[in-house]
Structure 1
Amino acid sequence: MKHLRTTAIAAILALPSFAAAQETISLTVASSHPTTIPWVGMIQTHFMAETDRILAEEGNYEISWDEAFGGTLYRANATLTSVEEGITDIGWVFSYLEGAKMPLSQVTAYTPFATSNVPVQLSVMRELFNENEAFRNEWEQYNIVMLGMTASDSYDLYTKTPVASLADLNGMRISAPGVLGTWLRGTGASAVDGALTTFYTDIQTGVSDGVLSLALGALPTRIYEVAPYVTRVQMGTVFSGGVAINRDVWETLPEEVQQAMLEAGAYYSEAHAQDMMDRPEVAMEQIATLGAEQSTPVTIVEMDPSERQAWVDALPNLAGEWAAENDGRGLPAAEFLAAYMDGLRAGGEAPARDWSAE
C-alpha cells in the first residue's frame, strides 16, 4: 500500500512540471480593415490558426492572441508605422497606400493589363522579395519582417450608362482609387480620386459617371445600384501589401515560433491568392442576382477583346514614367520592372503589353 501511495504522489507532483513546459507568448495582431475583408479575415482563419496548429504539434509554445481588427488601433494611413513602431506586434501593412516610402511595391499599379492571376503575381512578388535586395530593404528598413503577401482581385468598370466601346468612355468622369486613375489616361475619361467609401455617393450625386472597382468591393458597397452597367475589362490585379511583424518583437521569439509563423505566412499567402481567384466570380453572380429587380437592372458584359486592346494601346508608357522617376532617385526601378514582367511570363502569363520593353 505504501508503494502505491508513493507512486501516486510522484505522478501528481510530475503534472505541474509538464504543464509548465509549454510557454505562452502574448502577441497583438491588428489591422485597419475589418475581418469582413477577405484577406483580413484570413489572418484569423489561416495565418493565426495555422501558426497555432504548427506549434501544437510540438507543444512547447502557444500564442495568446490579442486581436484589434477593424481600425481599433489605427487607420489605413498608419498600417506601416503602426507595425514599425510596435503599436501592434503583427499587422496587415497596406503598402499600396505607401507610395513614397515603398516605391518598388507599386510596380503592379503601373503595369495594368499585365495579369489577373493572383497566385502567379504573388509568387513573382515573393521571389523578387527573396532575391532583390532593394525590394526587400524597402520593407525591412522599417523594422518589420514580412510574413505573407496580399493582392486585390481584378479591376472592372461600373458605370451609369453602357460602355460598348472605348469611345464611350470619352468625356466620362470615372472614380478610381489613387494611382489607378492613371489607368484612364488616353481613354478620354477624366479620373476622379475616390475610394470604396465614396464611390456610391460620388455616382449618386453626379460627381462621377462610374468607377474602376473590384467585385469584392462593389458587392458590399452596392455600387451596382447606382452604376448598373458592369463591363468586365479584367484590367489586372494589384499587389497590396502583406502581413508583417515588428522586428524587435520577432527577435524575442523562439526559433520554433518564428519558423511556425513563416510557414503559416506562406500558407496564408497561397490560400489568399486562390481565394482572390474564386471569390470574385461568386461576388459577380451575387451582383447580378441582387441587381436583377432594381429599376435599371444590372447588366454584365465582357468588353470586346479588340476594344480592350485599344484601351491597352491608348495608355501612355505608365511603367516607363514610373521607372524613370524612381531610377532618378537611385532605385533600380527599370531592372525591377523587367524582373517582374519576366517573372509573369515565366509563370505562364501573357501580358497585353510588354511594359518593360518600352
Structure 2
Amino acid sequence: MAHMTKGLRTGLCAAGLLLASTLAGHAATYSLKIGAGHPAGSVWIGAIRDFFMPQVAERVAKATGDKIVWTEAWGGSVCKLGECLEAVESGLLDIGELQTPFDPAKLLAHNFTYFAPFGTPDPRVAAKAVLDVYEATPALKKVLETRYNQVFLGAGVIGNYGLVTSFKWTDVGDLKGHKIAAAGPNLPWLQGTGVVGVQSNLNEAYTSFQTGVYEGWVMFPDAIVSFKLNEVTKQYVDMDFGCIHTPLLSMNKDTWNDLPPAVQKIFIEVGKEWNAYTGRVTWQKQQDALAKMKELGLDVRQADMATKQAWAKALPNIPKQRFEEINKANLPGEVIYTYIKALKAAGHQFPRDWEAER
C-alpha cells in the first residue's frame, strides 16, 4: 500500500498500480489499467477515452506534479461483458466500465433506470437524474465497496431506446410472435406485447440478425449505427423507452487506497463531470445517428403517444415488481421511485403514471 516514509514515497498494489519510488517533492507515476467488455468504438467507451482519462491525467499533473500512465483493455481483452465487476474486484483491472445490465443480480439496484420504462428520451436530463439518485442513495456506492471491493467513480448514460427490426410494423399487435432481443433488464419491456423475448448483447447482434436468431432489437440509435445493424434491418421506431444508465465506472479499492487524497479527489470530481459529459455527447450522437440511419436507407419513424400509451398499458407494473424484488435482496428498492420523481421534476411525462400505481 502506498505510503510516505522519511521523504520517500513507495507503493505497489496487486491490481498493477505502481507508484514509482521517488524522493520527496518529486513526481510519482501511477500506472492504471482501465478496461471494459465493449469495444473502444462504443460511444460510452469513447466518453471515457475522450474525457475521463485525459481530464484525470491533466488535473493530476497540474495539481500534484504526478503522472498517470494508462493501459487500455477494451473489447473483452481482460473482461468480457458480465465479467468486469469481478475483474475490478480482483484487481485484474484498476478501473472498469461495468455495464450494469450484464450483472443483473449483483447490480440489481444499479439497474434502476431499466425499471422505469418510457423514461426521458433526453440523455442530458437522464444523466443529471441518475447522478441525483446516486447522491440521494448512498447505499448504491456502499454495495460496491462492501461487497465487491471497489469504489464508485461515475455513472454515465446511453441513448434513448427504440425498436430496430428486420421487418416493418405499424401497430403493437403486428409484433406478435416475432423474436425480439434485449440486453436482459429491459426484456420485461416486451411483456404483454406478444413478442418472443431473446436475451443478447451488441457484440453478437449483427450475426444474430443475419442468421435469424432474432428479428428485432430494443436498442438506441448510436449503437445501431456503430455496430452497423442498419445493414441487417429495415425499420427503426423511436419508441422513447428512455435513456438508460448502463456505464458505471469503478476503481479497485486496493488501488484507491494506494492513491493520495489529492489524487482521489480528482478522480471523484472528474467522475461527476463525466456524468454530464456522457449526457451531452450521447445527445449529439443520438441526433447524428438518427440522421445517419435515414441516410443509409433505414425506415425511421417516431411512435406517437397513443402507441406508447398502448404499449405501456400492456406491461405489468414493472417499477412495483422490481421495487419489491430489490428490497427482498436487502438493497434500496426506493431508487426506482427516486429516479421517477427526478424525471418528473425535470418535466418528463410518462405515458403511464408508475408512481401513482405503486
Q: How does 1:228-307 map to 2 (within 5 A)?
A: 228-291=234-297, 298-307=298-307
Q: CA deviation at 1:311?
A: 0.8
| Distance in 2 separating the partners of 1:107 and 1:19 | 46
Q: Deviations over 1:240-297 (max 9, x none)?
A: 1311111111111112111121222122221111111110221122222223xxxxxx
Partners in 2 of 1:61 and 1:74 — Cα distance? 28
Per-residue deviation, 1:117:
2.4
Given that 1:77 and 1:97 are in contact with CA atoms closer than 8 Å, whether structure 2 keeps it comes out as yes
Going from structure 1 to structure 2, the CA distance change for 1:170 and 1:264 (only over 3 Å counts) comes to same
Deviation (angstroms), 1:18: 10
Match for 1:227 among 222, 233, 249? 233
TM-fit CA distance, 1:59: 4.7
What is the 5 A alignment of 1:1-358?
21-141=26-146, 142-291=148-297, 298-333=298-333, 335-358=334-357
Amino acid at match of 2:72: E
Contact 2:123 2:280 in 1 (8 A): yes
Q: 2-side partners of 1:116 and 1:96: how far apart?
A: 19
Assess, with a 3 A threshold, how the Cα gap between structure 1 residues 72 and 228 changes in structure 2: closer, same or farther. Answer: same
If the length of structure 1 is used for normalisation, what is the TM-score?
Answer: 0.87
**Structure (1/2) with the larger helix percentage:** 1
User: 1: CA distance between counterparts of 2:167 and 2:101?
Assistant: 30
Q: What secondary structure does 1:234 align onto?
A: strand
Secondary structure, aligned partner of 2:347: coil
Distance 1:175 1:67 in 2: 30
Kindly indicate whether the alpha-carbon contact (under 8 Å) linking 1:96 and 1:241 is maintained by their aligned counterparts in 2.
no
C-alpha spacing 1:208/1:121, structure 2 compared with 1 (3 Å): same
- Partner of residue 295, structure 1: none
Per-residue CA deviation, residues 289-338 of structure 1 (Å, 9 max, x unaligned), is 223xxxxxx211112221121111111111111112222333341x3222
- 1:130–1:136 CA contact under 8 A, matched in 2: no
Structure 2 Cα separation of the partners of residues 18 and 249 of structure 1? 21
Measured at CA, do residues 299 and 128 of structure 1 come closer, stay the same or move farther in structure 2, by a change above 3 Å? closer
The worse-fitting range, judged by mean Cα deviation, of 103-112 and 324-333 is 324-333
Q: 1:175 to 1:131 in 2, by over 3 A?
A: closer
Residues 231-240 or 212-221, more deviating: 212-221
> Counterparts of 1:48 and 1:136 in 2: how far apart (Å)?
21
Instruction: Pick closer, same or farther for the CA change 1:234–1:83 going to 2, 3 Å.
Output: same
Could you list the per-position Cα deviations for residues 136-164 of structure 1 after superposition, in whole angstroms to 9, with x for gaps in the alignment? 22222211111121222111112233222
Aligned equivalents of 1:350 and 1:270: distance in 2? Answer: 22
Higher-Rg structure is 1
Q: Aligned partners of 1:226, 1:257: CA distance in 2, in Å?
A: 46
| Distance in 1 (alpha carbons) for counterparts of 2:231 and 2:336 | 38
- Counterparts of 2:238 and 2:63, CA distance in 1: 48
Query: CA, structure 1 residues 313+24, in 2 after alignment: closer, same or farther (shift >3 Å)?
Result: same
Alpha carbons 2:33, 2:93 under 8 Å: kept:
yes
Of 220-229 and 306-315, the range deviating more from structure 2: 220-229
Percent identical:
29
Deviation at 1:212, TM superposition (A): 1.5
Offset at 1:103?
A: 1.4
Select between 76-85 and 344-353 the one with higher mean Cα deviation: 344-353
User: C-alpha distance in 2, partners of 1:59/1:208?
Assistant: 53
- CA contact under 8 A between 1:154 and 1:236: conserved in structure 2? yes
CA apart distance, 1:185:
1.0
> Any gaps of 5 or more consecutive residues in structure 1?
1-16, 292-297
CA-based RMSD of the aligned residues comes to 2.1
One-letter amino acid of the structure 1 residue matched with residue 173 of structure 2: A
